[in-house]
A and B are shown apart, each in its own frame.
Chain A
Amino acid sequence: NAGVMQNPRHLVRRRGQEARLRCSPMKGHSHVYWYRQLPEEGLKFMVYLQKENIIDESGMPKERFSAEFPKEGPSILRIQQVVRGDSAAYFCASSPLHSGLNNEQFFGPGTRLTVL
Chain B
Amino acid sequence: GQQLNQSPQSMFIQEGEDVSMNCTSSSIFNTWLWYKQDPGEGPVLLIALYKAGELTSNGRLTAQFGITRKDSFLNISASIPSDVGIYFCAGPPYGGATNKLIFGTGTLLAVQP
Contact = CB atoms under 8 A, between A and B. Distances in A.
Interface of A: 4, 6, 31, 33, 35, 41-45, 48, 55-56, 58-59, 91, 93, 95, 98-99, 101, 103-110, 112
Contacts, number: 72
28 contacts: A6-B42, A41-B105, A41-B106, A42-B88, A42-B104, A42-B105, A42-B106, A43-B90, A45-B101, A45-B102, A48-B98, A48-B99, A48-B100, A55-B98, A56-B97, A56-B98, A58-B100, A59-B100, A103-B99, A105-B33, A105-B45, A105-B99, A105-B101, A106-B45, A107-B35, A107-B42, A108-B42, A109-B41
B76 interface: no
Interface residues of B, number: 26
- Chain B interface secondary structure, helix, strand, loop or mixed? loop
Contact of B33 (A42, A45, A104): A104
